[in-house]
Chain A
């Protein structure tokens, strides 16, 4: 299909792009004041701004594609694929609060707040490098999705959608940093949410409304698609109960940790930009609930698409289903408005990852390791240069994306399996130390290659389902990092007491809490004594940025 735009359609698009560029120019003066402004908006935001940024960032152009894919293929049961973000409902009141109180700019920096010594520094450097690259290829991933949409709609070459809109986005990210990101995200989030509702309701109406959809499913003999619990047995098939239990575990226990899904790294920046701990909690909770509401509206719209076009077998074709509902059925003049909303969905994701990747390069790699005495002006300059490097790198990744998809999926999701439990242990268990955590990362790198690629290739083990890989990698990793943790010394008590007083973690922290109470830093009623954070600071000459 190709879509023909009228003058009115292009007018919508141009007005929208001008609005986005305007927000960058408007906040230029605020963004360039300091590193804290360029990356965290000076930690002064009320909860609804980072909340809209959480929602807008996690609504990307590829999101309606993959959600359409799982719902079209599996019916309503497919919605559980999207439920991993349920971790944020718990995290908002657990790890979000602990992280905000730590004052770490990034998850990489958090390693040197929670741990100390060489192990913690190696963790910080490793994680910052890994996240710089991770943001680069997430940018390539969503960039090429936009390229595909433009190819589908206008028959443009794929590189146009990849490059042109990211360049527009880079203008306001380079100008105003996180101030530009979060202010544009707020507008983009509202536009995206409204248009997702309008297009979905329009599609449902076209298919005859909810009753019409149910009648048509009955005629097709596909009424089972209405059942979100249409399991295919305990262990096998497309939707086994064991897979569902694994997903629930990831969703609910993940909220006790940090980094248990890749979304955490984006959330961490929003958490630190909120002006208080309470604002941070609200921003993560509300940002995620908006995403879950969005998913459920999409799911019904995809069922509508299914009864309109029930016989599509090619995934790349049915994945465009939600976009087709809009472009096939919306009245003329609204098409440009819909495309402007797709741009809003796209730019909000691109802008966040550009700024976040630059934060790791500037704060963790440049300032902490290369030039601890750098001026604020210099840091903003480095932030802009690393934003540019990320942008260029993402174009490269976008253009080779077709060829590296299977490795990418491996790197994104399977890599997270072996470090899922350590990511929780670092928050809830005082004895877990830097060497234990570092060994879990290294072990996971080796084990995930073995279990996913090498051993199946050598016919030593069969190709396993994703949930089976998750459990095996979790157990294999534990066989390494538990002994390493227990055979190496715990973090120094002075450091742990300072961390405890500052972050007030939950879980198994009794020896540290008792020591903090003995020193009079925690009162008998559990409150932190006034001035305790300063008083407990260990004598530490290593640069504390």
Chain B
């Protein structure tokens, strides 16, 4: 459970960055 929260937070950040993403 502890690890799932940790990696979920990191991958959520990664997904948000990719979704938001020609200058």
* Chain A interfacial positions (CB closer than 8 Å to B): 118, 121-122, 124-130, 132-134, 136-137, 364-365, 368-370, 393, 397, 400, 404, 407-408, 411, 539-542
**Bound CA span A400–B14, Å:** 27
Instruction: Evaluate contact between A133 and B20: CB separation under 8 angstroms.
Output: no
Contact A133 B23 (CB under 8 A): no
A-B contact pairs, 11 of them (CB 8 A): A124-B13, A125-B17, A126-B11, A126-B13, A132-B9, A136-B5, A137-B2, A365-B16, A407-B3, A408-B2, A539-B23
Q: Which residue of A lies closest to B18 (CB)?
A: A122
Residue of A nearest to B3 (CB): A407
Pair B13/A365 contact, Cβ less than 8 Å: yes
Q: Would you call B16 and A369 a contact (CB within 8 A)? A: yes
A189 to chain B, nearest CB (A): 30
Nearest Cβ distance between residue B2 and chain A, in whole angstroms? Answer: 4
Q: Which residues of B contact A404 (CB under 8 A)?
A: 2
Q: Is the CB of A369 within 8 A of B9?
A: no
- When distances are taken between beta carbons in the complex, the residues of chain B under 8 Å from A539 are 23
**Are the CB atoms of B16 and A130 closer together than 8 Å?**
no
Interface pair A128/B13, CB less than 8 Å apart: yes
Q: Known contacts A393-B5, A400-B2, A407-B3; is A133 also within 8 Å of B10 by CB?
A: yes
A125 touching B5 in the complex, CB below 8 Å, given contacts A133-B10, A539-B23, A541-B23 = no
Closest CB-CB distance, B18 to chain A, in whole Å? 7
How far is it, in angstroms, between the C-alpha of A400 and the C-alpha of B6 when the chains are bound? 14
What residues of A have a CB within 8 angstroms of the CB of B17 in the complex?
121-122, 124-126, 369
Question: A125, B23: Cβ atoms under 8 Å?
Answer: no
CB-defined contacts of B20 to chain A, threshold 8 Å: 121, 368-370
Residues of B within 8 A of A411 (CB): 6
- Nearest chain B residue, comparing its CB with the CB of A411: B6
In contact, A400 and B13 (Cβ under 8 angstroms): no
Minimal Cβ-Cβ distance residue in A for B17: A125
Query: How many angstroms between the C-alpha atoms of A125 and B14 in the bound complex?
Result: 5
Residue of A nearest to B13 (CB): A129
Known contacts A121-B17, A404-B2, A407-B2; A542 and B23 CB within 8 A of each other: yes
Beyond known contacts A129-B11, A130-B6: 20 more, CB 8 A cutoff? A118-B18, A121-B20, A121-B21, A122-B18, A125-B13, A125-B15, A125-B17, A126-B10, A126-B14, A132-B13, A133-B10, A134-B6, A136-B5, A137-B6, A365-B16, A369-B16, A400-B2, A404-B2, A539-B23, A541-B23
User: A400-B1, A400-B2, A404-B2 known; A130 and B23 CB under 8 Å?
Assistant: no
A123: nearest chain-B partner, CB-CB: B17
**B13: contacting residue among A364, A393, A397, CB under 8 A:** A364
Q: Which residue of B lies closest to A539 (CB)?
A: B23
Kindly provide the distance from the CB of B23 to the nearest chain A CB, expressed in whole angstroms: 4
Interface centre among B10, B18, B23 (most CB of A within 10 A): B10
- Give every chain A residue within 8 A of B2 (Cβ-Cβ): 137, 397, 400, 404, 407-408
CB-based contact A540/B14 at 8 Å? no
**Minimum CB–CB distance for A371 against chain B, Å:** 10
Question: In the complex, what distance in Å separates the CA atom of A368 from the CA atom of B19?
Answer: 12
Inter-chain CA distance A197–B2, complex, in Å, is 37
Q: Report how far A89 CA is from B14 CA in the complex, Å.
A: 33
Residue of A nearest to B6 (CB): A133
Q: Nearest CB to that of A408 among chain B residues?
A: B2
A542 partner residues in chain B, CB cutoff 8 A: 23
Task: Identify which of A121, A368, A369, A540 gathers the most chain B CB atoms within 10 Å of its CB.
Answer: A369
Contacts of B3 in A (CB 8 A): 407
Shortest distance between the CB of B1 and any CB in chain A (Å): 7
Q: Give the chain B neighbours of A124 by CB distance below 8 A.
A: 13, 17
Query: Could you tell me the distance between the alpha carbons of A118 and B6 in the complex, rounded to whole angstroms?
Result: 23
Is A129 in contact with B9, judged by CB distance below 8 angstroms?
A: yes
Cα(A218)–Cα(B23), bound, Å: 72
Q: How far is the CB of A143 from chain B (nearest CB, A)?
A: 14
Q: Chain A contacts of B1 at CB under 8 A?
A: 400
Please indicate which of the listed interface residues A129, A132, A397, A407 has the most CB atoms of chain B within 10 Å of its own CB.
Answer: A129
Q: Which 4 residue pairs spanning A and B have beta carbons closest together? A: A129-B13, A125-B17, A541-B23, A125-B13
Q: Which residue among A118, A125, A136, A368 has the maximum number of chain B CB atoms within 10 Å of its CB?
A: A125
Complex alpha-carbon distance, A124 and B13, angstroms:
8
Give Cα distance in the complex from A134 to B10, angstroms. 10
The answer to whether B19 touches A369 (Cβ under 8 A) is yes
B12 → chain A closest CB, angstroms: 5
Across the interface, do A133 and B21 meet the contact criterion of CB distance under 8 Å? Answer: no
B13 and A127 contacting across the interface, CB-CB below 8 Å: yes
Our pick among B10, B18, B19 for the contact of A130 (Cβ within 8 Å) is B10
Query: What is the CA–CA distance of A6 and B18 in the complex, to the nearest angstrom?
Result: 59
A369 cross-chain contacts in B, Cβ below 8 A: 16-17, 19-20
Q: Roughly how many angstroms separate A170 CA and B13 CA in the complex, as a whole number?
A: 25
With A and B bound together, what is the CA distance between A365 and B12 in angstroms? Answer: 9
